[in-house]
Structure 1
Amino acid sequence: MSKIVKNIIALSISSALSISTVSSVNAATYQLVDKGETTNQKYTYAQHQNESGDMAISGTSNYNFPVQFQYLDDDDFVSIQIFAANNYQIVHELDNIEDPDALKAGNPTANDLAWVIKWLQNTSTGKGINIEYQKVGDTVAMTNIGSITQDFTLWDTTFEGTDTLTRSTIDIISGITNDGMYYGTATAPYLPSETFTDTNDIEHIFWLREHGLRGFYSYDQGTQIYQIPPFETGYGGGTSSIMDVNDAGIAVGFSSYKLNQTYSDFIENESNGCADPDIVPATMTLAACIANVQLSSGITPYHTMALKATLNPNGTPVVEQLGLLVTPHEDDERTYSSYALAINNNGVAVGYADGFYDETVTEPEEDERRVYYNALGSLENYKFAVVYKNGDVIDLTGDHADKGSSIAYDINDAGIAVGYIEKTVSGKLVQQFFYTDTNAPSEQINMVTPDGFFAGSDSSAHAINNSNIIVGEGEIETHNESTSNPRRTAAFVYDMNNDIFTNLNETIPCSIRLTYDIIEARGINDLGVISATAVIKANRRDAQGNVMLDNNGEPLTEDVVRAISLEPTPDDSEVCSAEEEEEKVERKGASVSSTGLLCIMALFSLRRRFFKVSYFK
């Protein structure tokens, strides 16, 4: 289908949506398509889908994680039992260890398997950051093609002598182009090393991987997968990522481009560093030492640079750096990074980059101010939404006074960028979704922040199509939030042309509004189809994936998040009754696990405030 025809179709959809929203905010204007329950993961959430309806999906909370019990000893099993005994009363839906003997034999109950996984992941016990213990990845790439959702295995591999994947990788398909190219970011698996004997004749096995994050792309649904080589690979292999690809096969993302001086100094230190002979080779290998520093030190290994890559079927992408927003003082050793998150068909990209508090600085001091107190009261580096255009990195924020950080997530072919910006409203720092025209001269660029669900509601725009229809999510609750009690969110659609903001939960048929609570919209294509994530009730499953039953033999249920698609449909003038709307409010208020779900979603950047690219490092 030609671009002109697609734009005409999208424009007609946009007009229909606007008219229906004006006539009745409760009218059904979207058909909801559930992308389906998977057999291997509890949660799925939408990334993006192309105009053929192929969707990229991410899955988390794997069932039946393949714990390699042969690498655990008696002290480890004692530690697991102590860990469970100390925590089972505060962990929802888990009991104390049920069968210690079966656990030691490598045949645990579902309850006990769940504790082993938590113990392996836990950083307070040290196992989650200890290279001598198995690693849990728990982020799976998935696709929905022709209504079938299935795992998309990238570089994960099976344990030697088995057909069991390690499930130690972090795999994310960012999207699928209209001509079927898959792209995203993934890691190599953690695998057990050969036995290493230290100078005290103690044997060790280290869990190591060949590389961390790598941007990837595939023209043939994964048969041949190509990497984006990082600019800097020292001391750990570097990192790279692909976040978006336009119709011409031009990709954007980011890559390591420089070693963090503190990180390299730590590794090269001859006293307690990896260059100390009492550590390497006395107690471990160099590869193990570097991995240990990455996991346990908390030091960011690399400076990161936004990249552009011209992809080709030969697997030899032409990669170039897009630059930084600021040029730091030559003696400033703090990390300075930039990220490109989206690119339009005119080759203009957007994202964000580290910057200074004072946007007018041209000759910075060595300690030029670059931190502020965010909405959670913590110090955070300033990062500003930017556009990468004609070789320049342009700040979209304008005057930095009374503002915090900002991110631009998407840009359409007309040059309209969307994202969020932190602004001071009534003395409080609030995240507000914005749109801005990147075609304006840099000194005239203006971020427009439309009204959201209520004054003070944090919101973020994740995507915009070529009809200027924007999607994202915003807070719908007003209580003072905390990490243990976050505010609930709802997905929205915003018609920029007519300044109409709509809760997407009010655009689906009344008959399913009690079933699906749409909390986030991640993407919208030029046919107006929205990729979103909803909370639904599903059969509760244990750590082995088995459906759990109550005392009467009936399946227990729980709230989970599910990837969905919203397809525009003609307005049928259906209006939900006041009783139906009230019932939905009561149902949502009574949800036992909604707070837990929000906390889980925060970890996977399903909420604006917790979007941390550092998660990928």
Structure 2
Amino acid sequence: MKQLRRCVTPLCAAVLSAMTLNANAALYRVIELTVSEDGENNTYALDATSPNADEGVVVGVGTAITETSDGDLDGGDDETNLASDNLGEYDLNGDGDDEDLVDDLEDWMLRYMSDYQQTYVAMVNDSLMEWERVNVWDTINPEDGEYRGTTNDYFFGVNDKRVAVGYGSAPYYIFRYEDEDTHDETYSIIRDFASRGFVYEVGDDVDGERIELTPEEYEYGGLSGAYDISDSGIAAGYSSVRFVEGAHDNHDSCIYDENLPEIVCDYRVANGYYGDTYHIEAYLWQLDSNANVIQTRALGHPIELDDDVELQLVSQAFAANDNGYAVGSSDNYIDTENPSLYNLREYAAIYTQYSKNDIGILDITDRNMYPANTVSETVSRATDINNNNIVIGYAIRYINTSWRTKAWYYDISSNSPEMIELPSFFESSSMTAKSINDYDMVVGEFEWEPRPGGVTRRRHGYLYDMRSDNFVDLNDAIECTDQFDIVEANVIRNDGVILATATTQQSILDENGDPIFDSNGDEITTTVARAIALEPIDGGDYDSCSDADEAFPDNEREGASFGLWSLLLPVAWFVRRRYTLSR
């Protein structure tokens, strides 16, 4: 839950001072959160402290620029990425002897292999200055003194005490051993865990301490992650809590039937080589004033399994408020009247087990309105909750021969609570709801193009004020001259500041950092995603834009690129995903 107050100082002041003031040109000023000194292809802001915190902090994720080899790894090509299944095609030591491939393969080479390269980096932005990367569980490789570069790291939440949470993976490394059958030296590329939650106190030292959110069940590695943290120090996320029936047998078979080392079998079982390994539950960690874990709580599932059932159950908590409620999603029955373990889907869930009104897990999805489908395992999700006990989320509904995602809200405190859809731009417009503040203002993304059939529809970020029933396309709320196309809104704070993702054009540079031009002398550009902050203008109004696209007036902005935007948005919604390795 984003617990943020009126715009009084640091973060708002930073926004105000960073932009040229133009009182009535638009509803929002735009500030771009620039890339880090390491450079990222795309950046995404996913949470921020409130203006009444000591200093403003934004956390998020960036997509790493792919590292390429220097020629010694590829037998002569200038640049390449290696895949784990084609090592035999490359001369790893540059001497033309393919028989030495295994002997000469070293840990530092893994950062150039497409199967192990880092894709996502955790990023923190202090006072709306430049992003900085935070290496979560990566380690320094003694062979070259650099980070191994084979982890994926994510920040999702931060509270007003500058305590941030997320999760990251362990780095890959080469484990060498003797094959018990052939007695030849061989190797496996493994890591200690795929996902481990962490707590990080934002400070002057970007390499400051990370506090592990240890899974309840961590044999073979385990899984954990955190998506949100309240000012009272409650981190919400997921944890492996026990083994799926048969997981231990798979581990024993790996050791005794396949004759593999135990550490290799740990990795294989934990990473789904033989099927699902862990039951995953929505989970809470209570932190003290020093950000140390002092209490944990698994929030359970709505389904109870017999001990001999070989089936994985997954639930997750995406947010928690100050009143004792957490929200997320869980596996549940498609037909609650005739429950069957062979007919499960992911449904929105409200967890009340640590509230004074503990009544268990609330299943709030109308199966008739939102029936299970073959398009997605997810039927509905609850994505956020405010301190008014209003929950938001999305659900999939069948409209005009197609399955469409619809945003909704649910008022826990209502006498007759139910999922109520937010008004759509048009009936079949797909929408998601991602964040709600304590003034009942919701942000997310929606399809603004009424294109028919299977044609891809472009999306924009929106703001919906529940109290005034006012819906705003955020691209209509900024200056026409802004070179951004706002494609999703991720967070809204109590002062009205919105963190969003926008696409824009960026020059393609040569090795000297100079722009590249085509045969006509025009600068060559590419579309990138950038994290932006939108700060409300006091007394602002809509800018009067000329229509750039007669077919879809008032929506096409400079910087938009049809089709490409969807390739740039794997993070802000994929990250809060159903965590399972083999489904």
TM-score (norm 1): 0.76
Determine the structure 1 residue equivalent to 2:166: 184
The answer as to whether partners of 1:29 and 1:507 remain within 8 angstroms in 2 is: yes
The answer as to whether partners of 1:559 and 1:594 remain within 8 angstroms in 2 is: no
Q: State, as a whole percentage, how many aligned pairs show the same letter.
A: 24
Describe how 1:262-411 pairs up with structure 2 within 5 A: 262-269=246-253, 273-276=254-257, 279-280=258-259, 284-295=260-271, 297=273, 299-312=275-288, 313=290, 315-328=292-305, 331-360=308-337, 364=339, 367-371=340-344, 381-389=345-353, 390=355, 391-404=358-371, 405-411=379-385
> Within 2, Cα distance between the matches of 1:260 and 1:547?
55
For the residue of structure 2 that corresponds to 1:206, the secondary structure is strand
Is 1:420 aligned to 2:390, yes or no?
no
The answer as to whether partners of 2:443 and 2:491 remain within 8 angstroms in 1 is: yes
The answer as to whether partners of 1:467 and 1:526 remain within 8 angstroms in 2 is: yes
Q: CA deviation at 1:594?
A: 4.4
Describe how 1:58-137 pairs up with structure 2 within 5 A: 58-64=61-67, 120-121=113-114, 128=115, 135-137=116-118
The answer as to whether partners of 1:355 and 1:384 remain within 8 angstroms in 2 is: no
Gaps of 5+ in 2: 13-23, 97-108, 372-378
Is 1:175 aligned to 2:157, yes or no?
yes
> Within 1, Cα distance between the matches of 2:202 and 2:564?
38
The answer as to whether partners of 1:42 and 1:61 remain within 8 angstroms in 2 is: yes
> Within 1, Cα distance between the matches of 2:581 and 2:564?
20
For the residue of structure 2 that corresponds to 1:144, the secondary structure is strand
What do the CA deviations read for 1:522-558 (whole angstroms, capped 9, x no partner)?
111111111110001012258x896662356875210
1:29 is aligned with what amino acid? L
The answer as to whether partners of 2:48 and 2:57 remain within 8 angstroms in 1 is: yes
For the residue of structure 2 that corresponds to 1:205, the secondary structure is strand
Q: CA deviation at 1:204?
A: 2.4
Describe how 1:15-34 pairs up with structure 2 within 5 A: 28-34=26-32
Determine the structure 2 residue equivalent to 1:218: 200
For the residue of structure 2 that corresponds to 1:446, the secondary structure is coil
The answer as to whether partners of 1:469 and 1:496 remain within 8 angstroms in 2 is: yes
Q: CA deviation at 1:459?
A: 0.7
Q: How many residues align?
A: 531
Is 1:140 aligned to 2:121, yes or no?
yes
> Within 2, Cα distance between the matches of 1:79 and 1:492?
39
Identify the range of structure 1 (180-189 vs 386-395) with the bigger mean alpha-carbon deviation: 386-395
For the residue of structure 2 that corresponds to 1:287, the secondary structure is helix
Distance 1:200 1:590, change over 3 A: farther
Distance 1:198 1:261, change over 3 A: same
The answer as to whether partners of 2:465 and 2:471 remain within 8 angstroms in 1 is: yes
Is 1:431 aligned to 2:405, yes or no?
yes
Q: Pairwise CA RMSD of aligned residues?
A: 4.0
1:400 is aligned with what amino acid? R
- Of 420, 424, 429 in structure 2, the residue corresponding to residue 452 of structure 1 is 424
The answer as to whether partners of 2:178 and 2:185 remain within 8 angstroms in 1 is: yes
1:493 is aligned with what amino acid? L
What do the CA deviations read for 1:110-146 (whole angstroms, capped 9, x no partner)?
xxxxxx999943xxxxxx3xxxxxx123110011113
1:415 is aligned with what amino acid? N
What do the CA deviations read for 1:552-608 (whole angstroms, capped 9, x no partner)?
68752100101111111123335323345759969969989643441342x435379
What do the CA deviations read for 1:333-391 (whole angstroms, capped 9, x no partner)?
32122111101122211111111122356xx5xx44524xxxxxxxxx24233343534
For the residue of structure 2 that corresponds to 1:248, the secondary structure is coil
Determine the structure 1 residue equivalent to 2:516: 549
> Within 1, Cα distance between the matches of 2:266 and 2:168?
20
- Of 162, 170, 175 in structure 2, the residue corresponding to residue 193 of structure 1 is 175
Determine the structure 2 residue equivalent to 1:475: 447
The answer as to whether partners of 2:75 and 2:92 remain within 8 angstroms in 1 is: no
Q: CA deviation at 1:262?
A: 4.6
> Within 2, Cα distance between the matches of 1:583 and 1:564?
28
The answer as to whether partners of 2:502 and 2:532 remain within 8 angstroms in 1 is: yes
Larger fraction in helix: 1
Q: CA deviation at 1:399?
A: 3.2
> Within 1, Cα distance between the matches of 2:177 and 2:72?
16
Distance 1:79 1:8, change over 3 A: closer
The answer as to whether partners of 1:396 and 1:447 remain within 8 angstroms in 2 is: no
TM-score (norm 2): 0.80
Determine the structure 2 residue equivalent to 1:160: 142
The answer as to whether partners of 1:31 and 1:508 remain within 8 angstroms in 2 is: yes
